């Protein structure tokens, strides 16, 4: 099912963030002159199949994957990792996606999209990253809302709460908090090439022949 387009008549309630409200107002006049661009969601299972195989036994419920996501638009893949990053679709360091979902189309020009990313970049840095509450999936959801007017599937966003609601998930919480802190500490001063640290977009990796 194709998601709704980013509509010119969207109400204030449907435009969830202040940044989206600003760029909605600035971009609606450019939409009529811009051609349609397909928008997709790439899903990567960070557990490499272990979640599907072991979750029922460990958690008492079936989990299909531990998801990292990226938005595909304007011929590139956009994701949150050490700032807002971009790469060749399916050729980032996450490898090939486990699933590809069609989200719909956008009529926004690339220039407006990149201005939007610069505007939200201070909220998507390594310092603001949280493994459970403010991660790549929250970024993908906000970008999807901006481009097509609907977010990513809710089961992806609710996965942390679903895991932590189980006894085993509660046992994992101290380890996850430690991992989250270590990730931020290790990244301090690291030369990430994303928008979120004041640098230019990261150059997309070359495709193999």
Note if 68 is an active site residue.
yes
CA distance 169 to 38: 37
Active-site residue, selected from the candidate residues 42, 107, 136, 145: 136
| Pairwise CA distance, residues 141 & 151, whole Å | 5
Q: What angle do CA 180, 181, 184 make, to 5 degrees?
A: 90
Q: Which of 42, 68, 107, 145 is catalytic?
A: 68
Distance CA 188, CA 46 (A): 23
Per the annotation, the verdict on 136 as an active-site residue is yes
Catalytic machinery residues: 68, 136
């Amino acid at each position: 099912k194709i998601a709704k387009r980013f509509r010119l008549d969207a109400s204030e309630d449907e435009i969830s963030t202040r940044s989206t409200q600003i760029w909605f107002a600035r971009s609606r006049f450019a939409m009529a002159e811009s051609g349609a661009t397909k928008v997709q969601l790439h899903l990567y299972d960070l557990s490499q199949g272990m979640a599907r195989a072991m979750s029922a036994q460990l958690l008492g419920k079936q989990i299909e994957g531990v998801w990292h996501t990226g938005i595909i638009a304007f011929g590139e893949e956009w994701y949150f990792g050490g700032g807002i990053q971009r790469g060749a679709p399916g050729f980032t360091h996450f490898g090939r996606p486990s699933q590809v979902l069609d989200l719909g189309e956008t009529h926004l020009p690339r220039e407006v999209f990149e201005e939007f990313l610069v505007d939200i970049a201070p909220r998507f840095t390594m310092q603001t990253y949280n493994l459970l509450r403010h991660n790549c999936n929250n970024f993908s959801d906000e970008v999807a809302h901006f481009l097509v007017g609907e977010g990513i599937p809710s089961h992806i966003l609710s996965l942390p709460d679903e895991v932590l609601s189980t006894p085993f998930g509660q046992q994992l919480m101290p380890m996850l908090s430690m991992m989250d802190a270590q990730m931020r500490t290790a990244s301090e001063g690291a030369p990430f090439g994303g928008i979120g640290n004041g640098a230019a977009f990261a150059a997309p990796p070359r495709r193999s022949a």
